[in-house]
Chain A
Amino acid sequence: MADTQKLVSLRTCDNVLHKVPEHLTLQMRTIRNLLSCKIFSDTDTVIPLPNVSSQMLEFVIKWCEAIGPGDKALGSMQLSTLLTATLPDLEESELVYDLMKAANYLEIESLLEATTQHVADEINNCNSLESVCELFGLENDIGPDDEEGEWW
């Protein structure tokens, strides 16, 4: 079965070549669009992914396997559960952001929604401006003059 499976070659930014089953790559709109171009329709052609690391691609593939074909719309609870299964260390915010960036670049709606909702939930749990600043490790740099829209 696996032998007959069509594979697509993806090269991540850390120069690792991944052979990914085509049905999984079809869940990534960016890849799907590229495959519909003649130049990439040949399976021997390697598609470069300059914005996705090898580690992230593995998470992405796990996600695509879990969610199944069609990048179907799921409820936020289901997405949250799936995200926990895909990315065990959700406390590591940098990983979540990297995964979000990969989802954004590869145009995987469900993964983008799951990761953004995760961060939005974290913001929601804050009860003050200070705690949001603390959550992201940011310092408030807004002066009184910045509290007006820009004029032109």
Chain B
Amino acid sequence: MAAHSADNPPNERTKTPPPLPLLPIKETASIMMLNNDCLMSVFASLPDLRTEVAVSRVCKRFQAVCLAKWRYSHMYDEFDLERWRELLPCYEDLCYFIRLMQPYIRKMNVSSCLCTLLKDLDEMQIYVLPMVTSFYYDPDDIDCYPSDRSIQKMTYLLPNLRRLRLTTPIQGRYLSSFKQLQELHLYEDQHKDYELQQDYFDDVCTKLVNLKVLDIRLFDVISKLRLNNCVHALQNLTILKLNLASLKSVLHEVLDLPALKQLVVLLDTEWYIPALLNVDAFDHKIREVSEFYKIMERKARQIVGFAVDGYYMPLEPGWDADLPIWSHQKLQRLAICSWTHAEDYLERYTCMSNLRLLCLRNWTYLSDNVLLKFIESCPHLEHLDVSYCRQLTPNFVHCALNIMKRRQHSRFLDGYMQRLEPPLLIYYVLSGFEDYVESKKLKNSPDYKGYIVFMDDFPARSERGLSFVDRGYQFDFD
């Protein structure tokens, strides 16, 4: 090894070389004869991330193999600083690991204070996470509201963010700097101290041309946000979720949005009540249904699904007798929840033979017979939500299975060798037959396999709780 001159200081790494191993050259290189598959298998047998990080620092090749292992395992696609701190107690290891994974992290779910997290990243010299497309902020400490400055820093940190969800209140400044943003979700079913400022909201709508999903619902006060200045800019919007108060003045413009596929309306909890109203006659239900009917009339031809929360919507029996949807019969998704009237009027929907989803969550008087008529008439039904329907009996489950088996048999006779229809997913929490399903272990019953699957949760894309859609209504358009 050449000696270093005094004015040319040696590199730190070569200054004090470790004693040369007294091994033949072949021996020193022997582990390098293993291919990457073998090395990956060796590293997969290491007990924890801490050891893997230590091994990855041995040489470039080990580093590349470890990095490939971390990337392709997808265990670290989601940035989770709290967990990573536990896995790598040594701060230097943690920084090294994050710097290596920096270009490959795809998601961030943050439950700690955002401001603190951004400071931590600053200290680690992590200034950009280019592949992160989804950010969800739901702090355990609910007072950790993101400041404008934090949002601004985030726009630099996450330049390619596509999906942003915040459960905390936010003023909205700098949101329009997420140039690639496609989804903005700001709804949370809890009180918020304030909502977006109107001018920042207008900015979001006009500057984010790729915006496809916008959820600006506000849970417990009348929303003051208006779309009047910006609705024209939402040309690519496919899903809009907002308060009735925000919709009222721009209903026609919203319904004219060219890409709109779903409209979800949250009824505001308060409304203008005439001063002369008798307090004894006050009804806590929201008496604002005119927009609901207007949408029905205006978009009848395009409506492929609708959902109403019967508890908050003052709909009377027979409300739907003259709806313009009957002549089109295009309904694929139907949800009428928390219904306390008789079930007679439900039967008319059995003519919608294209139904894929039927949600009758929390019906007081829903019987087996009506439901079986749907099973009989709607062969494409994939999701049936009857959670909280206490009057249903185990008999429904038997009969539904028989109908489906009979249908399959007739298909077989018609020459279809395989079952083509997917099984029916029944959401049955707290329904009248829940105990029966549990005690008879029907979830694993071979008899039901391929026909009925019993689900503990609610259908995907439905709100949790007693209704398919929180305190309002929803329309799906084709």
Contacts and interface: CB of A to CB of B under 8 A. Distances in A.
Interface of A: 93-94, 97, 100-101, 104, 112-113, 116-117, 119-120, 123-124, 129-130, 132-134, 136-143, 146-152
B406 interface: no
B30 A151 contact: no
Interface stretch (B59-67, B209-217, B396-404, B459-467): B59-67
Contact of B103 (A123, A140, A150): A150
B34 A149 contact: no
Interface in B90-114: 96, 99-104
A104 B103 CA distance: 31
Interface of B: 13, 18, 21, 23, 26-35, 37-38, 41-47, 51, 54-55, 57-60, 63, 67, 96, 99-104, 130
Contacts of B59: 133, 138-142
Given A101-B38, A116-B41, A148 B21 contact: no
Contacts of A140: 13, 57-59
Contact of B100 (A123, A141, A147): A147
Given A104-B41, A147-B99, A148-B100, A123 B55 contact: yes
B34 A123 contact: no
A120 B21 CA distance: 21
Contacts of A101: 33-35, 38
A83 to B, nearest CB: 13
Contacts of A139: 18, 59
Contacts of B27: 93-94, 137
Given A117-B45, A149-B103, A124 B51 contact: yes
A93 B57 contact: no
Contact of B99 (A119, A148, A152): A148
Given A141-B59, A148-B100, A149-B99, 9 more contacts: A100-B38, A100-B42, A104-B37, A123-B46, A124-B51, A129-B54, A138-B59, A142-B60, A149-B67
A38 B472 CA distance: 66
Contacts of B54: 129, 132
A134 B21 contact: yes
A116 B42 contact: yes
Contacts of B58: 129, 132-133, 136, 138, 140
A143 B13 CA distance: 9
Contacts of A112: 38, 41
Contacts of B18: 130, 133-134, 139
Contacts of B32: 138
Contacts of B43: 120
A128 B102 CA distance: 25
Contact of A147 (B34, B42, B96): B96
18 contacts: A97-B31, A100-B34, A112-B41, A117-B45, A123-B42, A124-B47, A124-B51, A132-B54, A136-B28, A137-B28, A138-B58, A139-B59, A141-B59, A141-B60, A142-B59, A148-B100, A149-B99, A149-B101
A130 B55 CA distance: 10
B130 A137 contact: no
A97 B30 contact: yes
A112 B60 CA distance: 24
Given A94-B27, A137-B29, A132 B55 contact: yes
A149 B104 contact: yes
A136 B30 CA distance: 8
Contacts of B99: 147-149
Contacts of B26: 94
Contacts of A148: 99-100, 102
Contacts of B34: 97, 100-101
A119 B31 CA distance: 10
